[in-house]
Chains A and B, each alone.
Chain A
Amino acid sequence: MQVTRDFSHYVRTAGEGLQHIDLAVEGVHCAGCMAKIERGLSAIPDVTLARVNLTDRRVALEWKAGTLDPGRFIDRLEELGYKAYPFETESAEATEVAESRFLLRCLGVAAFATMNVMMLSIPVWSGNVSDMLPEQRDFFHWLSALIALPAAAYAGQPFFRSAWRALAAKTTNMDVPISIGVILALGISVVETIHHAEHAYFDAAIMLLTFLLVGRFLDQNMRRRTRAVAGNLAALKAETAAKFVGPDEISHVPVAAIHPGDIVLLRPGERCAVDGTVIEGRSEIDQSLITGETLYVTAEQGTPVYAGSMNISGTLRVRVSAASEATLLAEITRLLDNALQARSRYMRLADRASRLYAPVVHATALLTILGWVIAGAGWHDAIVTGVAVLIITCPCALGLAIPTVQTVASGAMFKAGVLLNAGDAIERLAEADHVIFDKTGTLTLPDLEVMNAADIPADIFALAGRLALSSHHPVAAAVAQAAGAKSPIVGAVEESGQGVRATVDGVELRLGRPPFCGAETLVGGATLDPEASIVAFSKGNEKFILSVRQGLRPDAQAVITALKARNIGVEILSGDREPAVKAAAHALGIPEWRAGVTPADKIARIEELKRRGAKVLMVGDGMNDAPSLAAAHVSMSPISAAHLSQATADLVFLGRPLAPVVAAIDSARKALHLMRQNLWLAIGYNVLAVPVAISGVVTPLIAAAAMSGSSILVMLNSLRARSASREMA
């Protein structure tokens, strides 16, 4: 059978006879890797560009059109020791990159204008108390206007547009008071300048924009980075399928290029990437990712298979019924949609703060104007004072309070192996007080482990491991891994569905089903775990039984203890059979557990806890967990989770240990604390500065100092979220 790889789906034309592909690369983390990859790829003739992006963990490659097969880059990277996967930029990601650049451009313009207007303002402030001539002051004011007006018109676009959209929709948001404040401040400054007044507010208005843009950019940048990493995760899962392009020819194509009606080949040890029906072949299928059930089910002609299930023993031909994004059971999708809708009602801290903020500020400014008019001041003076109040209460510290902490905290979590999927995940995670774990793949490792390796003589086990290398079967892979086997036995023969055999020094070795090894009698006598898979190994007349199952994550016990120490409730909800769940719950000392739970049951349990006022953190990996992940207050998935669950979870953690769950909770709690502190700092500043502004003695100097002082303090405070990473490491 001829096998080809088809990456044309990912290749773009880069103009001037060049082709371009982006690869997501696993394991790039330092300068050494970068240089090694770039040098290794550039050495291929006709490659014109090979550049690693360390932030996004990707490689951009360009080569002369038609001269190279992209598969060659992946092979080359494999030789260098890196796993790479072709990668397609989602349109949402491209939009975010463009938006992020636009914000940075606005920030550049605003910062330039702020610096220059400040340079002109300081002579005016000091000149006002000494010997500045009115003509010179007017000249400086006009010059400030010349810089600040066009700069604000450009750099203010993100706020003006958003405010306009909100007003057009007859609602209001944070950008409405910002836009009103900036436009009023600039307008009144121009009027003041025309009237040769001592003060103008160009500096305050443009500085306000600068600080707000910093906050907006950080917020945007965090989301952009998250999306980039999430995009990589999707690519790193290497979801390709072997599609029949001829009666006897298969091609490895990305799942995105598979359509209903196609026929794909599913070999033993492969994870199915599509939904479909078996049309030929017979095998066992591990559906633990989908249902949580660890026992294998038999697949034969007519059996439906779902994306995420692992083929165990035989080769199957599958007719695709749904591919790519549509590979879900209808019920799971429906539950998921409902759950996600319910969650979108969650109000972010920043939104809650700004909803209170805008009316208070506008009322204060209005009352100031009215108060001064009633007190006998002229309309002109009253309005100037009112604008001063608007400026000094500017929400820049408020606008920075949340995004700066989020950025720093997400960076710290990123280093600790936790990736954020949602911007407000930190806030929700910090509130969690009850954790629900799924069992299969979450408390247990997704890979199989040999449980009784210690009972078997080391030399026999090593031999079994070497024999196991000749099989694709996942149980065999677990044996090979546990034995640390490196070299396969020459001449080993695999008998489909039975096992592997080989002859060494005239002695026959067999590894596989107990009957295949003539070891049925041993199985009955052995008291083994109900959920373990049993394989036998025979060397001549010596027979051994190996029990292979999913082991608990190495630090599961410690994590449960740590959660209990933090007064967080813990329970297990699993779709698996009762004996298996009971064993895990008992081993971990979790009194609350339920087995054989359906996705709808899981949601019902979460709703029940919600009604009691609990904030539930759901940790799960299976496709059957996806709806409950969405229904919970906040959710986490291991990196090995089904695609859908990973996309639904708010946080994704890497690696074998479960410790990132606790670390993320700690770090989120600290971040939430800092966010609240920042909001109080911002409010505190306003409480101090507003009376000064209302009293009418505020000069632009005081306004600028109060505003930038509060913003800088908030930013410095946010940096404290960094220490979270040190505690975790």
Chain B
Amino acid sequence: MEILVILVPLALALGSAGLIAFLWSLRSGQYDDLDGAAWRAFADDEPPQQAPTSASASSQS
């Protein structure tokens, strides 16, 4: 039964990792458009997105 000392923390760690991943994905807005996300999987290529905002800000100044 000593194996529990390893397995129980391991299981909890995996579970927490899942929870943290979920909270992160929620925070980054990945559940905001579920209909769109379903279709995006079929898109051939993502259009160019997200020009680095910090770089654009510094080039402006």
Contact = CB atoms under 8 A, between A and B. Distances in A.
Is the A/B pair a real complex? yes
A678 B5 CA distance: 44
Interface in B30-44: 31-36, 39-40, 42-44
Contacts of B1: 136
A105 B26 contact: yes
Interface in B1-40: 1, 4, 8, 11-12, 15-16, 18-19, 22-23, 26, 31-36, 39-40
B8 A34 contact: no
B50 A54 contact: no
Given A17-B56, A48-B51, A53 B8 contact: no
Contact of B53 (A18, A104, A105): A18
Contact of B15 (A38, A51, A55, A112): A112
Nearest to A51: B49
B19 A143 contact: no
A49 B22 CA distance: 24
Which size class do B's interface residues fall under? 20 to 34
A309 to B, nearest CB: 37
Contact of B43 (A34, A105, A112, A143): A34
Contacts of B35: 54-55
B8 A143 contact: yes
Contacts of A120: 8
B15 A64 contact: no
Contacts of A147: 12
Interface string B44-61: 100111110110110010
Interface string A30-63: 1100110011001000001111111110000000
Given A17-B57, A104-B26, A112 B19 contact: yes
Nearest to A56: B33
Contact of A48 (B11, B32, B56): B56
A35 B23 CA distance: 28
Nearest to A54: B36
Contact of B36 (A52, A64, A104): A52
B19 to A, nearest CB: 4
Q: Is the contact region of chain A dominated by helix, strand, or loop, or is it mixed?
A: helix
A54 B56 contact: no
B39 A115 contact: no
B53 A48 contact: yes
Contact of B33 (A30, A49, A55): A55
A115 B48 CA distance: 40
A104 B32 CA distance: 11
B47 A42 contact: yes
Contact of A34 (B11, B16, B39, B51): B39
A101 B29 CA distance: 9
Contacts of B47: 35, 38-39, 42, 50
A64 B56 contact: yes
B60 A64 contact: yes
Interface string A297-313: 00000000000000000
B19 A109 contact: yes
Nearest to B42: A31
A115 B17 CA distance: 13
A120 B44 CA distance: 45
Interface in A7-43: 16-18, 30-31, 34-35, 38-39, 42
B45 to A, nearest CB: 8
A119 interface: yes
Nearest to B41: A31
Q: Which of B35, B47, B49 has the most CB of A within 10 A?
A: B47
A475 B12 CA distance: 72
Contacts of A187: none
Contacts of B15: 112, 115-116
Contacts of B16: 112
A551 interface: no
A50 B50 CA distance: 9
A518 interface: no
Given A55-B34, A64-B60, A105-B23, A48 B50 contact: yes
Contacts of A48: 50-51, 53, 56
Contacts of B51: 48
Contacts of B23: 105, 108
A40 B15 CA distance: 42
A30 B39 contact: yes
Given A53-B33, A101-B26, A112-B18, A35 B43 contact: yes
A558 B34 CA distance: 37
Nearest to A101: B26
A35 B48 CA distance: 10
Contacts of A38: 47, 49
Given A16-B54, A48-B53, A105-B23, A116 B11 contact: yes
A119 B33 contact: no
B50 to A, nearest CB: 7
Interface in A105-137: 105, 108-109, 112, 115-116, 119-120, 136
B42 A54 contact: no
A54 B34 CA distance: 8
Interface of A: 16-18, 30-31, 34-35, 38-39, 42, 48-56, 64, 101, 104-105, 108-109, 112, 115-116, 119-120, 136, 139, 143, 147
17 contacts: A18-B57, A30-B39, A31-B39, A31-B40, A31-B43, A38-B47, A50-B49, A51-B49, A53-B36, A54-B33, A54-B35, A54-B39, A55-B36, A64-B60, A104-B26, A104-B31, A143-B8
State the 9 A-B residue pairs at the shortest beta-carbon distance, nearest first: A54-B36, A31-B39, A112-B19, A39-B47, A38-B47, A53-B33, A54-B35, A16-B57, A55-B35
Given A48-B56, A105-B26, 8 more contacts: A16-B53, A38-B49, A49-B50, A108-B22, A112-B19, A115-B15, A119-B11, A139-B4
